[in-house]
Amino acid sequence: MRKETFVENRIKSVGFALRGALLLIRTEASIKIQVALAVLVTIAGFYYQISNTEWILQVLAISLVVGIEGANTAIEKICDFIHPDFDERIGFIKDVSAGAVMLVSIGAIIVGLIIYLPKVF
């Protein structure tokens, strides 16, 4: 069988990653909320004509929250797969992972407030 080229291999990996992103959006309630908020602030960005720097910060904040939420979901799934029964150590891992999402979400909310509060009021 012919060995796949580097480019073919990379294209395949992008396909897997896209499938993962779609699965995440289709199956995880928290991601659905985050994506809905991302769409809302993107519309707000056009409406209030935010600056290039504000766009960069907004896009970074959105991708950080959604990206860390994806990693959190993967960690939860691994935990449920390797240890479905109650275990304090699994609880600790899941709590720390959820804490990471909360920290970046607080950062994203602060970025949003700094950008939009002066424009709205």
Residue from 30, 35, 59, 68 in contact with ligand ATP (CB under 6 A): 30
Structure tokens at 95: 């709590």
Asked about 4 being catalytic, the answer comes back as: no
The answer to whether 54 is annotated as binding is no
Say how far apart CA 53 and CA 115 lie, in whole Å. Answer: 10
Enumerate residues 80-99 that contact ligand ATP by CB under 6 A: 86-87, 90-91, 94-95, 98
Say how far apart CA 58 and CA 64 lie, in whole Å. Answer: 10
Task: Identify whether the C-beta of residue 101 lies closer than 8 Å to the C-beta of residue 73.
Answer: no
- Compute the least distance from the CB of residue 54 to ligand ATP, in Å: 29
Task: Identify whether the C-beta of residue 62 lies closer than 8 Å to the C-beta of residue 54.
Answer: no
Say how far apart CA 2 and CA 10 lie, in whole Å. Answer: 16
Largest separation between any pair of C-alpha atoms in the chain = 65
Q: Total residues at the site for ligand ATP (CB under 6 A)?
A: 9
- Compute the least distance from the CB of residue 47 to ligand ATP, in Å: 31
- Which residue is nearest to ligand ATP, using beta carbons? 91
Catalytic residue among 8, 54, 69, 88: 69
The answer to whether 95 is annotated as binding is yes
The answer to whether 87 is annotated as binding is no
DSSP letter (8 states) at residue 2: P
Active site residues: 69
Interaction site with ligand ATP (CB under 6 A): 30, 76, 86-87, 90-91, 94-95, 98
